[in-house]
A and B are shown apart, each in its own frame.
Chain A
Amino acid sequence: DTAVSQTPKYLVTQMGNDKSIKCEQNLGHDTMYWYKQDSKKFLKIMFSYNNKELIINETVPNRFSPKSPDKAHLNLHINSLELGDSAVYFCASSHSGTGILYGYTFGSGTRLTVV
């Protein structure tokens, strides 16, 4: 009955590889997000999708490509991984419109380590 679930929890991979992180929410939210948390614990938004449509695309290398097959899923694919991509990636979801007043619900994170 997890509200926002991400897989995998941990991901260790070599530089240059391509990897994906999956996210699913069962809260009936129509907006989903990807955040990156660096070693200093700063939360930085990367992407936001509303009903499968990209609405926020912050300055992120185009090696990162989000995909939303439906409003309950938002996956993140990363090509040609670099050492600097090592971080914890959080998926989150919310209602849109006035529903955002209730904040975001976060997943438990995917710790990506590039070696």
Chain B
Amino acid sequence: GQQLNQSPQSMFIQEGEDVSMNCTSSSIFNTWLWYKQDPGEGPVLLIALYKAGELTSNGRLTAQFGITRKDSFLNISASIPSDVGIYFCAGLFGKIIFGKGTRLHILP
């Protein structure tokens, strides 16, 4: 079945650093979604991407829909403590498939 490979699995960064993570698949998706899960909460939708090559921003977050439709990228600029959490990519082709998450930790 369809699977999403999300990397890195974990990131440890200093406050103020930029962050990049990505999601790849062997299958084509029509829509890519990026979610964030804060500790003790459910995932919350950050950005939705609907067209190959599309670049969309939400504050300090920027996500791109890969041109091959098999990948997507999320960048966070100038990280702050509240960026800590798990970031999930998700691809939509009939139903939503979730990646295994990237755990973002910010070092004091």
| Residues of chain A having any CB pair with chain B under 8 Å | 4, 40-43, 45, 48, 56, 90, 92, 100-109
The reply to whether B48 and A41 contact each other, CB–CB distance below 8 Å, is no
Q: Which of A4, A43, A48, A101 has its CB near the most chain B CB atoms (within 10 A)?
A: A43
- Give the interface SS of chain B, mostly helix, strand, loop or mixed: strand
Complex: A101 Cα to B33 Cα, angstroms: 9
A contact residues around B70 at 8 Å (CB): none
The reply to whether A106 and B48 contact each other, CB–CB distance below 8 Å, is no
Count how many pairs of residues, one from A and one from B, have CB atoms less than 8 Å apart in the complex.
48
Given contacts A41-B86, A43-B43, A108-B42, contact A102 B100 (CB under 8 A): no
Nearest CB of A to B9, in Å: 10
- Give the interface SS of chain A, mostly helix, strand, loop or mixed: mixed
A contact residues around B48 at 8 Å (CB): 101-103
B45 and chain A: residue at smallest CB distance: A103
A contact residues around B42 at 8 Å (CB): 4, 90, 92, 106-109
The 10 nearest A-B residue pairs measured at CB: A106-B42, A43-B98, A103-B45, A103-B33, A108-B42, A106-B43, A108-B41, A90-B42, A109-B42, A107-B42
| Residues of chain B having any CB pair with chain A under 8 Å | 31, 33, 35, 37, 40-45, 48, 50, 86, 88, 90, 92, 95-96, 98, 100-101, 103
The reply to whether A41 and B101 contact each other, CB–CB distance below 8 Å, is yes
Complex: A4 Cα to B48 Cα, angstroms: 20
Complex: A107 Cα to B45 Cα, angstroms: 12
B95 and chain A: residue at smallest CB distance: A56
The reply to whether A100 and B41 contact each other, CB–CB distance below 8 Å, is no
A contact residues around B98 at 8 Å (CB): 42-43
The reply to whether B96 and A104 contact each other, CB–CB distance below 8 Å, is yes
The reply to whether A42 and B101 contact each other, CB–CB distance below 8 Å, is yes
B contact residues around A40 at 8 Å (CB): 100
The reply to whether A41 and B103 contact each other, CB–CB distance below 8 Å, is yes
